[in-house]
């Protein structure tokens, strides 16, 4: 029968090479560091997307304003053409 204390938690067997333990520690640290770098890259990407979206909205606003100005100009030109045509008759 096995001892109850042996089943309660993790324990290291003395047969595990120190190289394996060091490798596990190094991998854990590396993965944690890589995760932090990935989080930073994601934050930078989100920031860049927000800047691009704001720029797009500003460009869209300017384009709509120009379009409205062009419509007004076309109406003015049409009115002048109508007056010219009516004046010839």
Comparing C-alpha atoms, which of 70, 51, 50, 73 is closest to residue 62?
70
Q: What's the structural domain count of the chain?
A: 1
pLDDT of residue 27: 95
Confidence at residue 69, expressed as pLDDT on a 0 to 100 scale: 97
Provide the residue range defining the domain that includes 52: 17-88
**pLDDT score, position 17:** 84
Is position 1 within any domain? no
Whether residue 46 lies inside any domain: the answer is yes
- Establish if 62 belongs to a structural domain: yes
Residue 22 lies in a domain: yes
Per-residue pLDDT of the chain (89 residues; tens, 9 = 90+): 455 555 667 776 777 788 888 999 999 999 999 999 999 999 999 999 999 999 999 999 999 999 999 999 999 999 999 999 988 76
Q: Is residue 41 domain-resident?
A: yes
Residue 35 resides in a domain: yes
Say if 70 falls within a structural domain: yes
Q: Does a structural domain hold residue 12?
A: no
């Amino acid at each position: 029968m096995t001892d109850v204390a042996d089943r309660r938690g993790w324990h290291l067997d003395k047969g595990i090479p120190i190289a394996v333990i060091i490798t596990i520690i190094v991998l854990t640290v590396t993965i944690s560091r890589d995760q932090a770098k990935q989080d930073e890259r994601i934050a930078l990407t989100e920031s860049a997307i927000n800047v691009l979206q704001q720029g797009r909205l500003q460009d869209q606003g300017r384009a709509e304003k120009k379009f409205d100005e062009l419509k007004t100009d076309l109406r003015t030109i049409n009115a002048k053409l109508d007056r010219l045509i009516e004046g010839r008759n």
